[in-house]
Chain A
Amino acid sequence: MADGETLRTIETVFRIERARLIGGLARLVGDVDRAEELAQDALVAALAEWPQSGVPQNPGAWLMAAAKRRAIDGFRRDKMLARKHAEIARDRDGDYDAGAEAIEAALDDDLGDEVLGLIFAACHPLLSAEARAALTLRLIGGLTTDEIARAFLSREPTIAQRIVRAKKTLGEAGLTFAVPRGEERKPRLASVLEVIYLVFNEGYAATAGEDLIRPSLCAEAQRLGRMLAAAMPEEPEVFGLLALMELQASRFAARTGPDGALVPLTEQNRGRWDRLLIRRGLDALARAEALGGASGPYALQAALAACHARAATAEDTDWPRIASLYDTLRTVMPSPVVDLNRAVAHSMAFGPDAGLALVAGLEEEAALATYAPLPAAKGDFLFRAGRRGEARAEFERAASLTRNARERAFLLARAAACDS
């Protein structure tokens, strides 16, 4: 019997190999559920052998070979059953091993992009965004359904069922688990990027005192982004998204105060920004731009984050550049929230009247009718324009709209300051 130390070593090696294993196996057997089972069988085989033989030189190849043997055994068994059940017994000795040979041959194919193929399958547009996120975290991140449930503030049975259904949908669709090429690639890639950013944002939304699994979603998304960047070095939006995540994550430590309250970007202690992630983010952004992707929605958002990252102090922020980036962003990613942020950027770059002019057009926007940041921004513009009475009314309106107690206190304090 192996000691605990050895078991842990084996499990860790398996964890590292797992996604590649499942990706390769899914390609062979055409079914992600079966692939997961086969991978698990390979782990069982490793747990039986490695304690005596030691961890092999190339554990990934060993596990793949073990899983493959199981796949071939299974294939032969199915074949035998099929033959037994066949009413007309035809002589099929000729192709008896054809399936097994096909599996052997496929194994010699380029195995470099199994994980990539698996990511594309897990993020297939056939699935809802939630299902894609859960399946991606399960298959590529190796999270358990319980961990995924805790991460998304959901219940374990809900997530388990979501994953079962997603696998079934994929099975019925008869996917090849190959990396999509040609025309199919662009929409499929967009679907992958959307899921990764969704996972990242879920982690970023975590607050102090919550289950630590939640903030770890950011690290998981960043890892996926880095894997994607390594596997698809010619895709500008992959680098755009990676840049955006690295730059946003660089502010993780600085974005909350000692009392857990969110600290606005301009008031954060920049000494606590993560310089390594900033450098990685700026590099990824430069790569996205060099690949001709400067106007992609992720690259543009990354460029916005980069303006802040490059400023040594809040006063150094290049607001005219931010304003112009928002001008572009609203054309590629139209949204009232982007328009509101654009108004704020213009007010910082060109004065409060510029902000007021842009915000005027937004007040009819139904999506923003009860959106507290709108009157809060307008209040700020009016305050800076010296129109204190009107500013106070806007701050009070914003305070009445927010559900966050801390934010309400902040807005009421700003309203009170209008009287002094």
Chain B
Amino acid sequence: MRVMVFVKATPDSEKGLPPTAEMTKMFEAMGKFNEELVKAGIMLSGDGLKPSSHGKRVAFDGPNRTVIDGPFAEARELVAGFWIWEVKDMDEAVAWVKRCPNPMLGPSEIEIRPFYEMADFGEAVTPDIVEREERLREQLKDR
């Protein structure tokens, strides 16, 4: 199964502090952990994200679109980095996350979310059928 592993932001990571000796040590530990992920054959992708002050949001409300500039509040709800892993099950993903060095200098959180897979749709409802149903609904609306 494929999972996305989110490293949640902290007030520190949101500040985008210049690297200290402590952080360099953490990056080294993280580098070693990444190596382990690659050796185990589970790492598909991964990257770090700049603080939300560099980000933008687009808010949707009916036909309206409003662009909101960062930074955004609630650091814990923001994402500072991610991996995409291919693991056998959630237990394996959890076991690997537990091995990860703390990605932040203070308390922090990592969240694991499985991707939707073909099997989740059941045999009867393939994405093709979902697509076709959506088209049909569109056509009905136009009448």
Q: Which residues of A contact B (CB under 8 A)?
A: 8-9, 11-13, 15-16, 55, 208-209, 212, 219, 222-227, 230-231, 253, 257-258, 269, 272, 276-277, 280
Contacts and interface: CB of A to CB of B under 8 A. Distances in A.
Given A9-B95, A13-B95, A16-B96, A276 B42 contact: no
B126 interface: yes
Given A16-B92, A223-B86, A226-B38, A280 B44 contact: yes
Given A222-B86, A253-B118, A227 B95 contact: no
Interface residues on B, range: 20 to 34
Q: Nearest 7 CB-CB pairs, A to B?
A: A226-B41, A227-B41, A223-B41, A12-B91, A258-B128, A12-B95, A230-B38
B44 A276 contact: yes
Given A11-B91, A223-B42, A223-B86, 11 more contacts: A9-B91, A9-B94, A16-B40, A16-B95, A55-B98, A222-B41, A226-B38, A227-B41, A230-B39, A257-B128, A269-B128
A272 B127 contact: yes
A9 B43 CA distance: 21
B92 A224 contact: no
Interface of B: 38-45, 84, 86, 88, 91-92, 94-96, 98, 118-119, 123, 126-129, 132
Contacts of B39: 227, 230-231
A249 to B, nearest CB: 10
17 contacts: A9-B91, A9-B95, A13-B95, A15-B92, A16-B40, A219-B86, A223-B86, A225-B41, A230-B41, A253-B127, A257-B128, A258-B129, A272-B127, A276-B45, A276-B84, A277-B44, A280-B44
B125 to A, nearest CB: 9
A230 B98 CA distance: 22
Contacts of A276: 44-45, 84
Given A208-B123, A227-B41, A230-B41, A12 B86 contact: no
